[in-house]
Chains A and B, each alone.
Chain A
C-alpha cells in the first residue's frame, strides 16, 4: 500500500460561491485523490487558528491586517510543515477600487505572503500582477487556474439561433458589475430579448430599482444548481469590476454559451479566446458589445476541454511532491 500525504485546506468563507465550489472539487476529485488525501477544515474568520495536522497545509483565507498576527503564530507552530496560500480575493482590479492606501496594502500582502512556502495565483493575470507588484518572489509563486467539474455543463444542449436570453450569474454585489449590465440592456432594442439575473446579495434592491421600467429584465433569485441557471440562458455577460478567476466564464464555455466580459483580471484567462472583451464599464460600450453579440448566431461551438480538470490535478500533484520529496530526492526514485 502506498503512503498518501495528507493535505489540509483551511477556509474561512463557506458561503456559496467560487471558493467553496473549488474546494468542493478538490475534496471530491478522483484524480487528485489518487496521490493525496485532501481534507477541508473550516476555521473562524479573523481569529487565531487552531493547530492543524497535515503533511502540507493550504490556506484559502482572505488576508487582512487583523489575521496577520494569528498567521505568524500559525507559521511558528508549523515551522517545518510546508504552508501554501491560495489567493482567491486580491487582484489589480480589486486594489484599484477598494484600496485607498495602496503602499500599505502592498506591504500587507508582501508580509503575509512571505510566511508561506508557496503562494498560488488562480489566474495568469493575477500571477503577473503579483510579480509586477513584487508581492512574492518568483520561486514562491505558482499559477494554478481554478477549476470545477464541468461535466454537467458539457452535457447541456447548446443554444440555437441568435442569442435571445442574456444571463447574469453571480452574487448581486458591486464586484459583479450587474448595474452596468442592466443600464446597457435597457438601451438595447428588441422586445424578444431577455436579461435573466441569477443570484442574491447586497445590491439586490438597487438592481431591481434600476431594472424597474423594463419588463424584459427578470430576477430569478439564487439558482438551485449552477447548471440550472446556465440552461436558461443563451449568452453570458460578466461585467465584473474585479475577478481573481471567474468560474462562471469556464462554465459558460463548457456549456457552449458565448461570453461578453470585462477585460479585467482573471477573466482574461478564464473567458478564453473566443469571448468578447469590453474595455471599461461605460454603458455605451456594453450596449454596443451586447448588441453585436445578439445580432448573429455564435460562430463557435467551442466547448472547454475536460483536460482542465486533469491539468489542475497535475499542477497540485507537482506542487505537493515538490515539497514532500525535495529534502529526500531518493524517495522519488523509489516510487518509480
Chain B
C-alpha cells in the first residue's frame, strides 16, 4: 500500500494533463499512487492518462459522469489508499520535492492535518507571470483561514487521511461513497472544506516554506463569474455559520472584505475596472480590516482598479512586463 496518494481531478484537461502527470511522476519521494479522476471529459483526457499509466504503473484512472471538482476529488479520495492524500488539479504542476517535503512535515507534526506550501503562478503556456502566493505558514487560526485562506489553491495541500475521515459524511442522496468536499458547491468548495475542518475538528493547518506548486491562472473569463463566486462564498458562510455563530459574527465582515478585494483583483486581471471598483467599494463598506492589516496590497488594488477603470488593461500589462523584466534581470 503506498504511503501517499495524489488525486488529480481532470475535466477536459487534454492540453495540460500530460505536464501535470509528468511533474507528479518525477517526485523525489517515490512511495505513492496517482489517481486521475476523469470527470466526464469529452476530449482525450482519458487517453492521455492511460498513456501515462502505461509508463508509470503508479497512475490509476477512474472515470465518472461529470460531478464537478468537488465530486471528482471525493471519488479520488474514495479510491485512494495512502495515509496522506495530496491534490493536484489537472492544469497545475508540482515541483519535484513537493511530496517529500509534505510527507516529512506530516511525519514530524502529528497534530497537523493539512500541510501546504506557497505557489508560483504560471500562465497558459506554463511561464511564470511574476506573481506568487506566499501565505502565512505557522500559527494559522480559524480566522486566518476564513479571511486569507493560506492554503491558497486546490493543488497546494497534502492532507492526512485521519483529517479527511473527520471531514467525511454521507448525504442522504448519495449512494456510492462519502463526501469530503461539498458537491453542492461549484465554487468556494476549497475554502468551505478547509473552514469546516477548522470549526468541526481539532486538526492543525500548517504550511512549509517554499513555492512548491505551480498554479496556472487562466486569463479568460476571470471576471465573468465573479458575482456567482461571491454568491457561493456567501452560501458557504451561511452553511458553516451554525457551527460557531460567535466566530462568524466576529469575523465575517473582515473576511467578506478580503473576499471582495480578491474578486476585485480578479476583475482587474480580466480588465473589468467597473466591477473591480464596485467590489472594492463594498469591501470597504464591509470592513476596513484589509486596509489596516494589509495596507500596501489593498492600496495597490485600489489604484489598479481606478487605472483599469480609466485606461483598460494597458496599465496592468505595463506593470506586469516591468515586473518580469526586473525579475529576469
Question: Which A residues lie at the B interface, using CB under 8 A?
Answer: 92-93, 95-97, 99-103, 106, 129, 132-134, 174, 177, 179-180, 183, 241, 263, 279-283, 288
Contacts and interface: CB of A to CB of B under 8 A. Distances in A.
Q: Which 9 A-B pairs have the closest CB atoms?
A: A95-B202, A279-B169, A281-B242, A92-B202, A96-B202, A180-B242, A281-B243, A100-B141, A97-B244
A288 B173 CA distance: 12
A241 B201 CA distance: 11
Contacts of A180: 242
Nearest to A106: B111
A274 to B, nearest CB: 18
A279 B245 CA distance: 17
25 contacts: A93-B202, A96-B199, A96-B200, A96-B201, A96-B202, A97-B244, A100-B141, A101-B141, A102-B204, A103-B204, A133-B110, A133-B202, A134-B110, A179-B242, A179-B245, A183-B242, A241-B243, A279-B169, A279-B170, A280-B169, A280-B196, A280-B200, A280-B242, A281-B243, A283-B242
Determine the interface band of chain B, counting residues with CB < 8 A from chain A: 20 to 34
A93 to B, nearest CB: 8
B146 to A, nearest CB: 13
Given A241-B243, A263-B169, 14 more contacts: A96-B200, A96-B201, A97-B244, A102-B111, A102-B202, A106-B111, A134-B110, A180-B242, A241-B244, A280-B169, A281-B242, A281-B243, A282-B239, A282-B242
Nearest to B166: A92
A134 B109 CA distance: 11
Contacts of B199: 96-97
Nearest to B140: A102
B162 A174 contact: no
A103 B245 CA distance: 24
- Is the contact region of chain A dominated by helix, strand, or loop, or is it mixed? helix
B246 interface: yes
A97 B319 CA distance: 43
Interface string B219-259: 00000000000000000000100111111000000000000
Nearest to A132: B162
A219 B255 CA distance: 35
A92 B245 CA distance: 18
A174 B202 contact: no
B172 interface: yes
Contacts of A132: 162
Contacts of A101: 139, 141
A200 B246 CA distance: 19
Contacts of A281: 242-243
B111 A133 contact: yes
B316 interface: no
Contacts of B139: 101
A241 B240 CA distance: 13
B302 to A, nearest CB: 31
Nearest to A263: B169
A106 B109 CA distance: 13
Nearest to A91: B202
Given A132-B162, A288-B172, A92 B244 contact: no
A132 B113 CA distance: 12
Contacts of B217: none
B232 to A, nearest CB: 15
Contact of B198 (A96, A106, A133, A177): A96
Nearest to B243: A281
Contacts of A288: 172
Contacts of A133: 110-111, 202
Contacts of A280: 169, 196, 200, 242-243
A96 B202 CA distance: 4
A5 to B, nearest CB: 37
A180 B170 CA distance: 20
Nearest to A206: B245
Interface string B169-190: 1101000000000000000000
A199 B30 CA distance: 57
Contacts of B198: 96
A263 B239 CA distance: 17
Which of A100, A103, A263 has its CB near the most chain B CB atoms (within 10 A)? A103
A99 B243 contact: no
A15 B100 CA distance: 52
B242 A99 contact: no
A281 B199 CA distance: 11
Contacts of A282: 239, 242
B243 A97 contact: yes
Contacts of B244: 97, 241
A99 B139 CA distance: 12
Contacts of A177: 242
A202 to B, nearest CB: 11
Interface in B59-106: none
A134 B162 CA distance: 14
A210 to B, nearest CB: 10
A180 B240 CA distance: 12
A233 to B, nearest CB: 22
Chain A CB count within 10 A is highest, among B200, B243, B245, for B200
Nearest to B109: A103
Nearest to A286: B242
A102 B111 CA distance: 9
Interface string B257-295: 000000000000000000000000000000000000000
